Amino acid sequence: MLKEKLSKYKLIFASGSPRRQQFFRDLDRDVTIRIKDVEETFPAELTAGDSRGYFAKLKAYAFEVDLVPVEILSTIVTIV
């Protein structure tokens, strides 16, 4: 069902992690990997939990002018 719903979209995955890339390939869909360098620093007032959302948005905004309406961008952030 998900594959059918996504069939008209191009999936873009913004992560250099081989494990995360494999996860998206396992969806049995063509996935394009695009990586942009983003300075991963966050404002001191954010907690570690809040920084995940901050970094995900930061990575997504780096692609803002490059995406077309039929593209779905996924960014994943891990805080260790």
pLDDT tens profile 9-58: 998 988 888 888 888 778 777 888 888 887 777 778 887 777 778 888 88
Alpha-carbon distances of 35 from 5, 17, 42, 45, 80, rounded to whole Å: 25, 10, 19, 27, 20
Alpha-carbon distances of 19 from 9, 36, 48, 62, 76, rounded to whole Å: 23, 18, 23, 22, 12
Q: Does the reported pTM lie above 0.75? A: no
Q: d(Cα 70, Cα 30) in Å, to the nearest integer?
A: 14
